[in-house]
Amino acid sequence: MDILLVEDDPSVAASVIDGLSSSGLTISHVDNGKDAIAYVNRSAPDLILLDLGLPDMDGQDVCRAIRQDHATPIIILSARSEEVDRVLALEFGADDYLVKPFGMRELVARIKAVARRTSGTISDSQANQQVLGPIRIDRRSQRVFVNENEVHLTPKEFDLLAYLATDPGAIYRRSDIMNEVWDTNWYGTTKTVDAHVAALRKKLGDQDWIEAVRGVGFRLGVPDS
């Protein structure tokens, strides 16, 4: 696995590189946002570890810029521990968020979990193509179309939509969504689900695609319009 580390602190970068290299991972390193975006456009890494406090631009802006053209999984590594920072990063397209300082075992576990979740593996018994009104979900290529116009989703947004679409109209509890889409290694707030639902509604073009069932969870349906 080719991992891009975007970190401006030399001591943190050295520690992460040493720890991940000893786990058999290939690490490339840049220390600013501009070089990170250029690297992703040029080399297409398998996963990105992104610090938010970069010298030339905020990491959230880097995340947003990368998401415009790439679905590469992104894990935020940041000293910012406030919930609002986590939610904003996830809304901008990050797949996971790890607060500094962190242990190397946890980082490796998060990398493996994100890689597993974003691999797009779906039960072989399910058809690759699923049509729900104007929406077409292609599970094989992890692409979504509305009225045959492609909608660009982050890997996590696609996983969430694909999960809700396994049984349209059924209510999925937040805890079940967290377990299935984020898996049991996720330690964040369940508001992560709400942030991703909000992003999906916006990208699908209608708030009614995903209904919130108070005190329970969410269900996917086809809007009357």
The pLDDT tens digits for 174-207 are: 888 888 887 655 555 567 888 999 999 999 998 8
The pLDDT tens digits for 82-141 are: 888 888 888 888 999 999 988 888 999 899 888 887 765 333 334 467 888 889 898 878
Q: Please tell me whether residue 141 adopts helix, strand or coil conformation.
A: coil
Chain-wide mean pLDDT for the chain?
86
- One-letter amino acid identity for 52? L
Cross-strand partners of 219:
211
Query: Which structural domains are found in the chain, ordered by start?
Result: 2-117 (3.40.50.2300), 129-220 (1.10.10.10)
- One-letter amino acid identity for 191? K
CB 118 within 8 A of CB 112: no
**C-alpha torsion sign, points 81, 85, 91, 94:** negative
